[in-house]
């Protein structure tokens, strides 16, 4: 018999995204036309941005994202390559046991706690979700070690849903540019989900991360290299002429989160 929770996942996925987009009107200094143009330019710079965390199925993605808190993607990939070769399902992970999981991931920060969470989330996936990764944020956050931002990364990368996993770069840009100002990552997430044009929403979180990492940097934004310098209304802006709009070489995308 089909697991009713899995069935409800698919049914409520749409509802979940719709709810996120039905929050009170967002404040942004930018007009619809500005927003359309900002994301059009980002889409030309990076037509197919991709995440860096290696995984072979939704389960291994959940584990990889949970392990990536306060760690680099490269460091997580190094550890998970060997781990996922022996355990790519919740049952295999349980069979491996906490001690051996610890051995595989001991190069990653907070590995003791993370090994516990990997065991606990594998067990919960089996008992509550028939061994499958659920497709709604509400269900994903019930897994040990999985918060809202991790759930957003999983929904986007594993299931192709448009989400906004607010990391340190997105949080800074949303506030610095007064694009979607907010005091918490959740506030910024809701506002960005409202103002970003639908057809750009799926890649928007990667574009914003990359823009923050390589151009609108934390210590000093590099406005001379910025393709939206003419549209940007940040008080920190130092340049008004947009950089040439060309496709950039592939660059890494991290999953570092804030909050």
Per CB under 6 A, residues contacting ligand SF4 are 176-177, 215-216, 221-223, 226, 228-229, 232, 234, 236-237
CB nearer to ligand SF4: pick between 66 and 232: 232
Q: How far is the CB of 207 from ligand SF4 (least distance, A)?
A: 12
Q: Angle at Cα 21 formed by Cα 17 and Cα 22, nearest 5°?
A: 115
Tokens of 7: 């069935």
Dihedral sign (CA 182, 184, 189, 190)? negative
Catalytic residue among 149, 186, 198, 240: 149
Residue given tokens 């290696």 in the structure block: 54
CB nearer to ligand SF4: pick between 95 and 224: 224
In contact, 207 and 39? CB cutoff 8 Å: yes
How far apart CA 90 and CA 108 sit, in angstroms, is 20
- What is the b/e burial string over 224-235, where b = at least 16 CB atoms within 10 angstroms of the residue's CB? eebbbbebbebe
In contact, 228 and 241? CB cutoff 8 Å: no
How far apart CA 176 and CA 58 sit, in angstroms, is 34
Query: Which DSSP letter does residue 231 get?
Result: T
Kindly report the number of other CB atoms within 10 A of residue 138's CB atom.
15
Q: How far is the CB of 230 from ligand SF4 (least distance, A)?
A: 8
CB nearer to ligand SF4: pick between 41 and 203: 41
CB nearer to ligand SF4: pick between 108 and 227: 227
Q: How far is the CB of 22 from ligand SF4 (least distance, A)?
A: 28
Our answer to whether residue 15 is catalytic in this structure is no
Our answer to whether residue 88 is catalytic in this structure is no
Catalytic residue among 32, 88, 167, 240: 167
CB nearer to ligand SF4: pick between 29 and 110: 29
- Cite the active site residues: 149, 167
């Amino acid at each position: 018999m089909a697991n009713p929770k899995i069935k409800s996942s698919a049914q409520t996925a749409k509802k979940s995204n719709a709810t996120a987009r039905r929050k009170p009107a967002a404040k942004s200094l930018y007009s619809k036309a500005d927003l359309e143009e900002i994301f059009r330019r980002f889409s030309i710079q990076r037509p197919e941005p991709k995440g860096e965390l290696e995984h072979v199925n939704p389960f291994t993605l959940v584990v990889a994202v949970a392990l990536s808190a306060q760690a680099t993607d490269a460091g997580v990939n190094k550890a998970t390559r060997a781990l996922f070769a022996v355990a790519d399902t919740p049952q295999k992970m349980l069979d491996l046991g906490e001690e051996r999981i610890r051995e595989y991931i001991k190069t990653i920060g907070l590995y003791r706690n993370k090994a516990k969470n990997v065991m606990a989330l594998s067990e919960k996936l089996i008992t509550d979700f028939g061994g499958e990764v659920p497709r709604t944020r509400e269900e994903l956050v019930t897994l040990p070690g999985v918060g809202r931002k991790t759930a957003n990364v999983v929904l986007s990368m594993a299931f192709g849903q448009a989400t906004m996993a607010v990391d340190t770069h997105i949080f800074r840009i949303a506030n610095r540019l007064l694009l979607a100002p907010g005091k918490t990552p959740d506030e910024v997430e809701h506002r960005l989900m409202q103002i970003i044009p639908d057809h750009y929403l799926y890649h928007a979180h990667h574009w914003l991360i990359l823009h923050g990492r390589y151009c609108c940097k934390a210590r000093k934004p590099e406005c001379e290299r910025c393709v939206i310098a003419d549209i940007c209304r940040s008080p920190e802006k130092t340049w008004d002429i947009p950089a040439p709009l060309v496709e950039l070489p592939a660059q890494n995308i991290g999953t570092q989160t804030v909050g």
